[in-house]
């Protein structure tokens, strides 16, 4: 089967299992997940979706999210959208979920409770999701340009292809030079304004002529305020635009509203937001440097250990603008390699679980299919399919991430910055994006050693502290055979003896 047919087949298999086209209200995707808005959650057949070969797991948050992995999700999503559009008028048959067998995870109910808890979103979490929605569409460009930047740095250091490196520099830097425009565009889109007006207001920030503008007694610099300024400028533009739409007569709306929106938001950006956002961006960079230079190992321990709980609570999305601000200022974010150690702890914990539960074929099968994606930084299958439902192993996996983060943080404290030129990838997939202040070789070595520490710490913590004796007894029990009808004489003997009949 060709790649195109395979992705089409995956989309075609998923559609009826989520209740058909009429049950789908929205379709989107991020780095690894197909995100679906649904009318009726009860029509979804979770177990059959999880059983599909291309599906690594499911997560329920504000949308129903099917984990397909990087690359695959970007190809399946347009196929799925095409099927939804083509079948929107047809009603797909609704089936109840498949019955859960005795061989399923004993803690399946705990996972469902965790999913329901995730649905109870607070206004603050919803706001963070909206901020994340602005940056998620930019991640592919950040990754592509980041890898080109890494390749270019390697060629420059080796003095290879001097005629090509200026071109690579232009390709790697062009997007970052204009990232404020893209942030403004998506900010306006997310908050209900006209996207191109958001981009127009934010473009003021990167225009070279702002050097002639003076605010707060200082001349502005092109790019001052960066993505934070673009966020504020575009949001203000949306507010002004909505006010204009309510008050301006329709006959002149097409002329007045865009003009007033760009004028008001643009002036506020030039004479206020750029300076203020520039100060905040500087504080963020200084705070990250101070945190790792003074508390490196301790800060790394906390960041690596608490990152997955932050993901569970949805609070990790607050880090996306911080990462982007650091990349914009220093060329890389020193936080991402530390946070990536959380995934290393999950991998080490999964290996320990595999060895501690030799008779639980269900969990071992899940681990075997999810472990390699875990090495590549796709951690959802291990989290939601293995460690989180089991409880204690999730905590010990976080401990592994803490020790890995402490290791990388210690080297930051000693003067070796380990950073990433983009956000999104983790695990082994982060290697092409690594950058630092002491050459690529040392940066790669520190990051690789941090992963090994995370694997080892997660394994040891889970192997020795991840299970109680009761858990091992229950989870290591061989699957019970299907009940069979016994002869009547045996039944009567059992009743006389007072023993259970099964």
Q: For residue 179, which of 219, 132, 228 has the smallest C-alpha distance? A: 228
**Range 57-84 burial, b when 16+ CB lie within 10 A, else e:** bbbbeebbbbbbbbebbbbbbebbbebb
Q: Tell me which of 30, 145, 244, 398 is the catalytic residue.
A: 30
Q: d(Cα 350, Cα 459) in Å, to the nearest integer?
A: 7
Distances, alpha carbon 413 to alpha carbons 294, 296, 430, in Å: 6, 5, 21
SS3 at position 376: coil
Q: Are strands 57-60 and 418-420 parallel, antiparallel or unpaired?
A: unpaired
Find the helix or strand (DSSP H, E) in which 59 lies: strand 57-60
SS3 at position 60: strand
Q: Which residues contact 330 (CB under 8 A, 6 or more apart)?
A: 285, 419
| DSSP code, position 310 | H
Q: d(Cα 423, Cα 137) in Å, to the nearest integer?
A: 12
Q: d(Cα 205, Cα 225) in Å, to the nearest integer?
A: 7
Q: d(Cα 149, Cα 327) in Å, to the nearest integer?
A: 12
Q: d(Cα 25, Cα 16) in Å, to the nearest integer?
A: 14
Q: Which DSSP string do the residues of 315-372 spell out, in sequence order?
A: GGGGHHHHHHHHHHHHSSBSHHHHHTHHHHHHHHHHHHHHHH-TT-HHHHHHHHHHHH
Q: d(Cα 137, Cα 183) in Å, to the nearest integer?
A: 10
Q: For residue 298, which of 412, 454, 427 has the smallest C-alpha distance? A: 412
Decide: residue 96, CB within 10 A, 0-12 exposed, 13-18 middle, 19+ buried.
exposed
244 is catalytic: no
Q: Are the CB atoms for 275 and 232 separated by under 8 Å?
A: no
The tokens for 312 are: 């569970």
Catalytic residue positions, numbered = 30
């Amino acid at each position: 089967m060709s790649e195109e047919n395979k992705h089409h087949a995956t989309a075609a298999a998923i559609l009826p299992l989520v209740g058909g086209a009429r049950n789908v209200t929205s379709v989107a995707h991020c780095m690894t997940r197909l995100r679906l808005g649904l009318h009726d959650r009860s029509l979804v057949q979770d177990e059959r979706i999880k059983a599909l070969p291309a599906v690594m797991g499911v997560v329920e948050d504000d949308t129903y999210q099917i984990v397909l992995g990087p690359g695959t999700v970007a190809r399946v999503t347009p196929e799925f959208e095409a099927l939804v559009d083509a079948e929107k008028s047809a009603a797909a048959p609704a089936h109840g979920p498949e019955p859960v067998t005795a061989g399923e995870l004993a803690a399946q109910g705990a996972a469902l409770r965790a999913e329901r808890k995730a649905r109870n979103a607070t206004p603050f979490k919803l706001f963070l999701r909206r901020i994340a929605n602005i940056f998620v569409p930019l991640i592919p460009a950040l990754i592509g340009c980041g890898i080109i930047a890494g390749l270019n740095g390697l060629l420059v250091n080796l003095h290879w292809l001097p005629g090509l490196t200026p071109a690579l520099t232009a390709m790697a830097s062009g997007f970052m030079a204009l990232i404020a425009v893209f942030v403004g565009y998506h900010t306006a889109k997310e908050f209900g304004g006209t996207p191109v007006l958001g981009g127009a207001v934010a473009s003021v920030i990167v225009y070279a002529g702002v050097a002639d503008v003076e605010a707060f007694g200082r001349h502005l610099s092109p790019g001052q305020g960066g993505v934070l300024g673009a966020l504020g400028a575009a949001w203000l533009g949306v507010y002004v635009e909505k006010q204009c739409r309510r008050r301006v007569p329709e006959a002149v709306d097409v002329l007045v509203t865009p003009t007033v929106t760009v004028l008001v938001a643009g002036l506020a950006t030039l004479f206020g937001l750029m300076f203020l956002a520039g100060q905040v961006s500087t504080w963020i960079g200084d705070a990250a440097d101070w945190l790792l230079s003074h508390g490196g190992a301790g800060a790394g321990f906390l960041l690596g250990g608490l990152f997955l709980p932050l993901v569970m609570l949805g609070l990790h999305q607050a880090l996306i603008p911080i990462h982007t601000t650091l990349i914009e200022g220093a060329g890389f974010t020193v936080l991402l390699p530390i946070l990536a150690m959380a995934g290393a702890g999950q991998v080490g914990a999964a290996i320990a679980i595999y060895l501690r539960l030799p008779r639980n074929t269900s969990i071992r099968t899940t681990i075997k299919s999810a472990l390699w994606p875990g090495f590549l930084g796709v951690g959802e299958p291990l989290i939601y399919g293995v460690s989180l439902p089991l409880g204690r192993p999730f905590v010990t996996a976080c401990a592994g991430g803490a020790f890995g983060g402490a290791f990388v943080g210690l080297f930051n404290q000693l003067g070796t910055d380990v950073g990433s030129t983009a956000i999104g990838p983790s695990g082994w997939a982060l290697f092409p994006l690594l950058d630092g202040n002491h050459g690529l070789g040392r940066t790669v070595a520190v990051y690789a050693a941090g992963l090994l520490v995370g694997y080892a710490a997660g394994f040891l913590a889970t192997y020795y502290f991840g299970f109680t004796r009761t858990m091992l007894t229950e989870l290591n029990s061989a699957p019970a055979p299907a009940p069979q009808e016994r002869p009547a004489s045996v039944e009567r003997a059992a009743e006389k003896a007072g023993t259970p009949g099964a």
